[in-house]
Every structure is written in structure tokens, then in C-alpha cells.
């Protein structure tokens, strides 16, 4: 990163610095590399430390930088692609998917909004599997996968009553079903307390909420509600998938 004295510009000084730093991240740094401390960076670019902090915070919001306790500010890895096309016909993550790590499983009624998607009674017992998605050693998503008992009738409570082993058992039985299709929606949300803790973000941080319904044996076999860090993820669309854009009561397709 070369020495650059910022000239008088029309845009805010921190924004111009953000652009300079962004270009330097592409050319002079590698993923995971630790940036020099704030004092050295501020001196190198001839700006106040407050201006530098604004630029660094903006780059962190954009997912270009990560602040790690005990390490400092590092160059973030590329954003994780979140596929929103419904053209794919596989269970997300697989039985033992490398990206998704089972955390545990509980049994009880699903939230009312999920029960509607599952087309189940509000008091029907549902297995709730919690998983996290880890990329480059960082948790980028937390998922709640709701599986009605009717979708996994051969699941035995004796094998594993709780924990990751129980979660794997639910997933294993679910994957015995032949997936017939799925639909998916994505919306911007705010991290709740549990998701914020899992994602190492503050409550209220922006997130992408991906809701997926999986269809099998003529009905809805499971519903996934996955919360992704908005600063580390990007949406991807398959060649065969259309983007559904909903606005009030109208829908239109954009291919």
C-alpha cells in the first residue's frame, strides 16, 4: 500500500479514503492478512484517525474487512453465494454437508408462521434442527429447519434424544424422502438475540433471511429459515431460475 496524500475532493473524505483502501485491498493484500494499525494507516494517508475509522467501518459493512478479537482488522474472504433459484433439486447441505454443521434438535410446536407453511396444526409436534453454516472458519449463517414428525416416521427417540447426534438422525431420515421440488424467498431482516450470538453480530444487525419449503410425498416435507450475515453473503441466480419480485399485492417476473 503506497503513500497517498488525499487531495481536496467533492465527496466526503472518508468515502474517498474508502475507495483508495478498497483498491489497495485488491492489489496489495491477501485474504486473512492483517492491516497495519490505525495510527500507521492514518499517517500513511494523511488523514485523521476519525476519518480512517469511518472508512474502515464502511468497508466492514460492505464485507471487505473483518475485525477479529485478539487479531485486528483482516481482509475478508469473498462473499458466500446464497442460491435463490428453485431449479436445484437437492436437500440443502446434504446429510453431512461440509458447510452446514448440526448444533442440536428439539421437538415441539412450530411458530404459527411456519405451521402455515408446513400446512400443519398449530399444536402438532415438529422437529426443529438448528444448524450453522461455516465458511473459512467463520459462521455466516444460522438455520432452523422445521421437520414434521410425519416426514420422519421412522425416527427413534431412543437413539439420541437431543444434541447434534439427534439433529443428524432427523436429517438422515429426512433425506430418505425423494425431493420433488422447493420454493424459496429472500428478505432483508434484523438479527434477533439468538441469531446475533450465533453469527457474532450485534442484535439488530442486517441479515438476509432465506425461507425454503421442501416438497416431497405430495406435500411440504420441511421448512428452512436460514439467517445469513448480510455483510458476508451475496445472492446468486441459476440459469433456469427466475427472480420473483413482490411489491404489495402485485408480482412480476424478471428473468
Task: Tell me the pLDDT of the chain (255 aa) as tens digits.
Answer: 555 555 555 678 888 898 889 888 888 888 888 999 889 989 888 899 999 999 998 888 777 888 777 788 888 887 777 766 655 556 665 444 447 889 999 999 999 999 999 999 988 989 999 999 887 777 889 999 999 988 988 887 666 667 888 898 899 888 888 888 888 888 889 888 888 899 888 888 888 999 999 999 889 999 999 999 888 888 777 654 444 444 433 433 443
Question: Contact 210/200 with Cβ under 8 angstroms?
Answer: no
Question: Contact 118/216 with Cβ under 8 angstroms?
Answer: no
Q: In CATH, what class is 80-254? A: alpha beta
Look up the pTM and report it.
Answer: 0.70
b/e map 151-163, b = 16+ CB within 10 Å? bbeebeeeebeee
Domain 13-75: give its CATH code: 1.10.10.10
CATH fold match for the domains 13-75 and 80-254? no
Q: What pLDDT shows up at residue 253?
A: 40
Side-chain half-sphere CA neighbours of 143 within 13 A: 24
Q: What pLDDT shows up at residue 200?
A: 85
Crossing angle between the packed helical segments 49-61 and 13-28, to the nearest 10 degrees: 60
Q: Hey, where are the domains in the chain?
A: 13-75, 80-254
In the chain, the N- to C-terminal Cα span, in Å, equals: 41
Amino acid at each position: 500500500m503506497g503513500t497517498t496524500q488525499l487531495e481536496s475532493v467533492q465527496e466526503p473524505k472518508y468515502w474517498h479514503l474508502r475507495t483508495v483502501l478498497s483498491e489497495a485491498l485488491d492489489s496489495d493484500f491477501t485474504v486473512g492478512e492483517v492491516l497495519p494499525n490505525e495510527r500507521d494507516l492514518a499517517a500513511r494517508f494523511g488523514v485523521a484517525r476519525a476519518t480512517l475509522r469511518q472508512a474502515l467501518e464502511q468497508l466492514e459493512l460492505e464485507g471487505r474487512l473483518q475485525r477479529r478479537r485478539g487479531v485486528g482488522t483482516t481482509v475478508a474472504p469473498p462473499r458466500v453465494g446464497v442460491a435463490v433459484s428453485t431449479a436445484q433439486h437437492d436437500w440443502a447441505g446434504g446429510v453431512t454437508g461440509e458447510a452446514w454443521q448440526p448444533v442440536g434438535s428439539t421437538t415441539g410446536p412450530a411458530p404459527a408462521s411456519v405451521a402455515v407453511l408446513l400446512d400443519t396444526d398449530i399444536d402438532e409436534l415438529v422437529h426443529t434442527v438448528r444448524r450453522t453454516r461455516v465458511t473459512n472458519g467463520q459462521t455466516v449463517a444460522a438455520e432452523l429447519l422445521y421437520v414434521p414428525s410425519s416426514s420422519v416416521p421412522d425416527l427413534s427417540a431412543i437413539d439420541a434424544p437431543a444434541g447434534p447426534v439427534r439433529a443428524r438422525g432427523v436429517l438422515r431420515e429426512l433425506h430418505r424422502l425423494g425431493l420433488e421440488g422447493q420454493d424459496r424467498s429472500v428478505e432483508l431482516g434484523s438479527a434477533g438475540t439468538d441469531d446475533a450470538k450465533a453469527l457474532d453480530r450485534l442484535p439488530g444487525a442486517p441479515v438476509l433471511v432465506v425461507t425454503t419449503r421442501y416438497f416431497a410425498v405430495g406435500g411440504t416435507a420441511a421448512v428452512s429459515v436460514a439467517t445469513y450475515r448480510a455483510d458476508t453473503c451475496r445472492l446468486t441466480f441459476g440459469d433456469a431460475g427466475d427472480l420473483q419480485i413482490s411489491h404489495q399485492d402485485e408480482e412480476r417476473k424478471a428473468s
